[in-house]
Structure 1
Amino acid sequence: MSVLAFTNNQKSTSTSVGYAGAVVTVLIWAAWILATRHSAATQLGTIDIGLIRYGIPALVLAPVWLKTGLLPKGVPLGLLATMVAGAGAVFFQLTTSAIHSTPASAAGILLGGSMPLAAALIGIFVFRERPDFIRLLGLAAIVTGVGILLVRSLAGAALPWSSFVLLPMGAILWASYTHAFRRSGLTAVQASALIAIWSCLIHVGLAIVFGTSITSAPLAEVGLQMLSQGILSGLAATVAYGLAVHALGGTQAAAFTAITPVLATIGGGVLLGEEIGIAEIAAAVVTGIGVALSTGIASRR
């Protein structure tokens, strides 16, 4: 009995850590969308912000990637490449470019709402996962929330095509990273370190080719991006999400990202002065309900 109780306590602790990591992640991601949207009005380009986002965690986690090596033994090259692309440079460039021309509320729905759906579909069709009816109902609600936004946009021509193409592509990349990381055998810190250093090197190469304006940008703007992109999104959120994936599983951890639309919608209206209509509020609420069901908290198993 004591061994069973100890095992149950371990599982409970692990699950609690996973939920905490997921909540921290979505809070930071909502702030990331707002900060990235704000950067569109500054002279900082996507390459500049990428250097900040991955340069800081690459420096902080240098002892980790120096120990594992840039190509750690036992990790298939395909998995590593999927992780770097899915949570690193490719993901960042696609989503940042789209967010610059997309209101925060819509970006939160199209990116955060699409992530759990993409993760679930990959889990079902690639890894033969079998979600129960409640989780499927939650995914359907997420699709409905995105659909509301799509219908409104088509009716008013409010969003550019890039919003509906690049942000879902980013969601697919992140979902691919989620499943690849869980199967890599790496810890959350190791994965974060490798993604940071590889993405930093890629952005250094882009800066050499296309140039950078970090040195001429206002110090306050650089400081804001260092906090939101480098410290919070690039370092804290990546580690927190890794802990959530380890504890909860890829599909369930990704489901939490759909909370992001609600937070981004509120933040866009309050902090950025963006207009929020009934359609945006309805889409955010429906998507939020979908994530609550997708996490499995209402499921019997």
Structure 2
Amino acid sequence: MTVLTLSPSTSKQPSTAFGYAGAVVTVLIWANWILATRHTAETQMGTIDLGLIRYGIPALVLSPVWLKTGLLPKGVPLKLLALMVCGAGALFFQLTTFAIHSIPAASAGILLGGSMPLAAALIGITLFRERPDTMRLLGLAGIVAGVAILLVRSLSGSDVSWIGFALLPAAAILWASYTHAFRRSGLSAIQSSALIAIWSFLIHLGLAAIFGTSLASIPLPEIGLQVVSQGFLSGLAATVAYGIAVQALGGSQAAAFTAITPVLATLGGGLLLGETIGAAEIVAAIVTGMGVALSTGVMSRKG
């Protein structure tokens, strides 16, 4: 049996251009996901209901994939599979959704999107001996500065509860763990997405059996909105796109793109929710964008 824990994915590597495209698609969908999830706080739809939709759709669409690989694929260590399911599946989703229901969308984007690249970089450096060059370190510093500006601006205008401060950075660590686990699993982006979807759907079925579900009483237009946003976009398209980005760019570089999420969430809050966009948001967008460009290696001579 092949052991894959210490080597990158053995599946065919996508090109760098596909990696950048996957990362951009991911953050665009995530910004929409934060806004759509925050919207459900005003409805009868609970976190278990959302989880059934988010993972049920991709589990169904990708059923030929997980039926072929099996629920426990040979050659993939159980600990890596568990990290992937927890880090990008049921546990991650429940933590983030509960937190997003408790705080404004812009604040959620700042706390989650800003924490992800830092967590991925720290895990890469401490556990896998990654050595980012000076430009990437400067990029991470730029991300920190941009997120700090947005966070200060958010705190000055609204109350952010301890729930967001505690749960969203924890969720970012989970996602970073998934990022590195997938990179070393030997699975393709589609195989990984299929396994995460089916396991997370089964977990949510168990939660629904214990705690119940409100899906039967939710209006069909609301369910339709979440089927598109949670199921097809976030659960299916974004998970596959992010997997492609990780394979092409590496875990830390792909995760760095998530720093764009707080900027998009803030802009989305202004355009869709009527929040004020001032000089602080504009400066944060520029600083964070530059940080992302540097931390992904775009401006490094080695690429």
Determine if the TM-score, normalized by the shorter chain, exceeds 0.5: yes
- The percentage of counterpart residues that share the same residue type is 78
Query: What is the alpha-carbon distance in structure 2 between the residues aligned to residue 13 and residue 204 of structure 1?
Result: 34
Matches within 5 A, 1:61-76: 61-76=62-77
How far is 1:286 from its partner? 2.7
Give the aligned partner of residue 24 of structure 1.
Answer: 25
Query: What is the alpha-carbon distance in structure 2 between the residues aligned to residue 170 and residue 53 of structure 1?
Result: 17
How far is 1:106 from its partner? 1.7
Matched residue type, 1:85 = C
Give the aligned partner of residue 258 of structure 2.
Answer: 257
Give the aligned partner of residue 129 of structure 1.
Answer: 130
Matched residue type, 2:134 = F
Matched residue type, 1:234 = G
How far is 1:291 from its partner? 1.2
Deviations along 1:64-93, one digit per CA (max 9) or x if unpaired, are 111111111100000000000000000001
Q: Indicate if the aligned counterparts of 1:109 and 1:283 stay in contact, CA closer than 8 A.
A: no
Give the aligned partner of residue 113 of structure 1.
Answer: 114
Query: What is the alpha-carbon distance in structure 1 between the residues aligned to residue 182 and residue 93 of structure 2?
Result: 17
Q: Secondary structure at the match of 1:122?
A: helix
Q: Indicate if the aligned counterparts of 2:14 and 2:244 stay in contact, CA closer than 8 A.
A: no
Give the aligned partner of residue 14 of structure 1.
Answer: 15
Query: What is the alpha-carbon distance in structure 2 between the residues aligned to residue 12 and residue 205 of structure 1?
Result: 36
Deviations along 1:103-133, one digit per CA (max 9) or x if unpaired, are 2222112111111111111111110001011
How far is 1:285 from its partner? 3.7
Q: Indicate if the aligned counterparts of 2:34 and 2:265 stay in contact, CA closer than 8 A.
A: yes
Q: Indicate if the aligned counterparts of 2:14 and 2:247 stay in contact, CA closer than 8 A.
A: no
Query: What is the alpha-carbon distance in structure 2 between the residues aligned to residue 153 and residue 239 of structure 1?
Result: 31
Judging changes above 3 Å, is the alpha-carbon distance between structure 1 residues 27 and 151 closer, same or farther for their aligned structure 2 residues?
closer
Q: RMSD of the alignment, in Å?
A: 1.8
Deviations along 1:134-176, one digit per CA (max 9) or x if unpaired, are 1111111222233334445666662111111111111111111
Matched residue type, 2:273 = L
Structure 1: 5+ residue stretches without partners: 1-10
Matches within 5 A, 1:125-274: 125-152=126-153, 158-274=159-275
Judging changes above 3 Å, is the alpha-carbon distance between structure 1 residues 26 and 136 closer, same or farther for their aligned structure 2 residues?
same
Give the aligned partner of residue 87 of structure 1.
Answer: 88
How far is 1:274 from its partner? 3.1
Deviates more, 1:135-144 or 1:46-55: 135-144
Judging changes above 3 Å, is the alpha-carbon distance between structure 1 residues 112 and 144 closer, same or farther for their aligned structure 2 residues?
same
Q: Indicate if the aligned counterparts of 2:119 and 2:176 stay in contact, CA closer than 8 A.
A: yes
Q: How many residues align?
A: 291
Give the aligned partner of residue 300 of structure 1.
Answer: 301
Deviates more, 1:282-291 or 1:57-66: 282-291
Judging changes above 3 Å, is the alpha-carbon distance between structure 1 residues 219 and 115 closer, same or farther for their aligned structure 2 residues?
same
Q: Indicate if the aligned counterparts of 2:87 and 2:176 stay in contact, CA closer than 8 A.
A: yes
Judging changes above 3 Å, is the alpha-carbon distance between structure 1 residues 97 and 280 closer, same or farther for their aligned structure 2 residues?
farther
Judging changes above 3 Å, is the alpha-carbon distance between structure 1 residues 13 and 185 closer, same or farther for their aligned structure 2 residues?
closer
**So what's the TM-score if we normalise by structure 2?**
0.91
Query: What is the alpha-carbon distance in structure 1 between the residues aligned to residue 151 and residue 263 of structure 2?
Result: 16
Q: Indicate if the aligned counterparts of 1:87 and 1:173 stay in contact, CA closer than 8 A.
A: yes
Query: What is the alpha-carbon distance in structure 1 between the residues aligned to residue 197 and residue 37 of structure 2?
Result: 18
Query: What is the alpha-carbon distance in structure 1 between the residues aligned to residue 163 and residue 276 of structure 2?
Result: 20
Q: Indicate if the aligned counterparts of 1:105 and 1:280 stay in contact, CA closer than 8 A.
A: no
Q: Secondary structure at the match of 2:42?
A: coil
How far is 1:256 from its partner? 0.9
Matched residue type, 1:197 = I
Deviates more, 1:170-179 or 1:278-287: 278-287
Query: What is the alpha-carbon distance in structure 2 between the residues aligned to residue 105 and residue 277 of structure 1?
Result: 14
Q: Indicate if the aligned counterparts of 1:24 and 1:237 stay in contact, CA closer than 8 A.
A: yes
How far is 1:200 from its partner? 0.3
Matched residue type, 1:295 = T
Q: Indicate if the aligned counterparts of 1:138 and 1:294 stay in contact, CA closer than 8 A.
A: yes
Deviates more, 1:277-286 or 1:187-196: 277-286
Judging changes above 3 Å, is the alpha-carbon distance between structure 1 residues 155 and 240 closer, same or farther for their aligned structure 2 residues?
closer
